[in-house]
A and B are shown apart, each in its own frame.
Chain A
Amino acid sequence: MNKPETIPSPPAASEQPGSQTPTDAATPGGVASIQGAAAAQAAPATMMKPLVAQQGAAVQAVASNTPPSVVRAFLQAKSSGKLADGAFASLMVICALAIFAIVVMILFVLIANSRLSMHAFGWKFFASQTWDPVSGEFGALPFIYGTVLSSFLAVLMAVPLALAVSIFLLDICPKMLRGPISFLTELLAAIPSVVYGLWGIFVLVPIMRDQVGPVLLKYLGWTGFFALPNFGVGMFTASVILAIMIFPLISSISRDVMRAVPVNQREAVLALGATRWEMLRIGVLRNARMGIVGSVILGLGRALGETIAVTMVIGNHPGIMKNLFAPGYTLASVIANEFTEATGDLYLSALIEIGLALFLVTIVVNAIARLLVWAVVRENAGSAH
């Protein structure tokens, strides 16, 4: 690399004794021992230049009594990579292990800081409906209800649309439009949560209150899920915002999964005379179903943890109500709203316990989703495109 003119000499040296120990080169032990010897000779040198110079001297010295290792010793010395390689590799391993460390640290910190509330309420914390900071009574059930319901509704709204758009982009859309449309849907993912919230407060809430609300009330009022009063802020509006927010995620991952289905599956179904829909249903959707479920669960995970946009439009009132127009509260919103105002250690620790619950639930949900997506993409890797 840095001294090319010295390279021709070792091959010349290797010609006479090279055949003496041919197996030595193949065994890693042999290489390592030679490398070790070379390193030992060069041990005091720490910088590159002196190391190479000293090595050159060492090689000449060695050449007289143990000829077979000359070439290797020289090349090893020239590369002199052992120490640097080891250091570099361990640095990279440390960076990678940092990811583990982060997860463990978050878990530890959350558990340590929520101990007070765990001792005070135990498992009852997740079954109690009272959230009364004044008297120090804390129960997370209304927030769990709000989180689960809003996320579920969001998934219900987003999934059919996301699948339809994926199908459109993969098989129906003219090539010219494919790029711009998928770019636009990706832009949806790039809009920050707080901007969705802002739009939600000033645009979506009035629409929900004045246009969509009355229609839903008229046609679906009998179910009991839609009842007055409708202020525009509430569970339903939050679900709509969430649906818009998780749509790009579900759409892009389900598209990846569908794309991973081998082309010959599609071709085989088409060759049997299937229409496009039949080809998609039998050839694509059925093969990709695990991955699609995975993408839906990923969307669910995102919806469960979404904080700011939901906080801005859900109404922030703890309660378990059937009416979807009524205000609600979610796990993430209660943390966002009350964390800085929490007076007293028990209050704070109850909020951190909610954070812990959120962390564990999203970890489990995401783990399941990733496994499903991986199963499909891995299985079809190689035969894809």
Chain B
Amino acid sequence: MARRFVSKFVLPLLKGGRLHVGRPVGWSAVARARAGGAPRGQDEARVMAEVARLRQACAAGLARDCEPPSLDESSLRLAAAAHNVLLLGHPEIARRPRDQERVAELAQELARLGPPPDLGEAVARYSLLVRWPEVVRVEHQLRVGPSWLRFELRAAGGSPGVAMRALARMSATTVTSRRRDWWREIGFPICAERAIEELFRACPLLEAMDPLRLHPPLSWRRILPVLRFPALGRVVAGRVLELGIESAGSALVMALLRFGSAGEADAAPDSAQEIAFAIRFLAHVHWLHILFAGGRSLASGSDFATLLTAAADVDPRLLWPPDVVRSSGPGLEFTQTLQRLRAEPQAPERYRALRALCALAAASGGGGG
């Protein structure tokens, strides 16, 4: 089970292809895989080498001078948790809520690793799950007969069975196959929410690289630990620019509003310095936008633009790095952008809320530095 798990699940998760989702992977399977020792046979050695090579290729694109990620206990637990979350959509278990809850609880326990302690661990964990949001499921639907006497067969995630293949040969049969994005179109049951949150907490870069995701909502509390590593902060900022500064930036601003006002469900924000750091990170994204957007100006009316205006009104130090001269080209362009955004109409309630957030950040002394 343990060795098959690496070859049938971990390797396709990294490389692509058929991702086999079967019986739940528990603690015993993780322990057996951990204590498996040296690879048996040439095929197994080739699988392990391929896994290591793909993870190293991913890690090299994120940060320099990182240790090659190894398939250690935390990696195996993360992979097992990811497998069990995918298992919740399995056709055989999807109609059994009690079993779903048991598998979800197991996934939550496996993923409870806490935030990564250092840069290397953050990169190693992300290198394992980097393609997890790309997972798709192929669904076949077969219809026979007129509309008033319709016979339907469905197969989700896998090849159709013998009966379906036989019926599909009939001339009156309509066969529809479609590829559905597991993360965005299928989703996960509500009982898996805590498991997903634990996965995000253990691998914050996975969450930070997808700020436009709807559910569970983006959490600054979870992504702040990795943003404090400069290399990963640059990667996330680049991803925000790639997705679009108005849309992705506004999603981050809304998450920041939740973080600052409600404390994101379980706890209040630790300190206003965290909010100040988040605002400075968003300002950094805008500086990158000025330098590399090729003259495309920031559209007004977005929450991101409102945050910039509010921060400039409260304390410009939240937006201006100390080493940027205001009379320089980027500085002048930044000033012109702020003036233009101020002149545009804004949502008054949103502006007031973001202004209060910036005031909280500035009052803590987080405006400078």
Instruction: Judge: A and B partners, yes or no.
Output: no
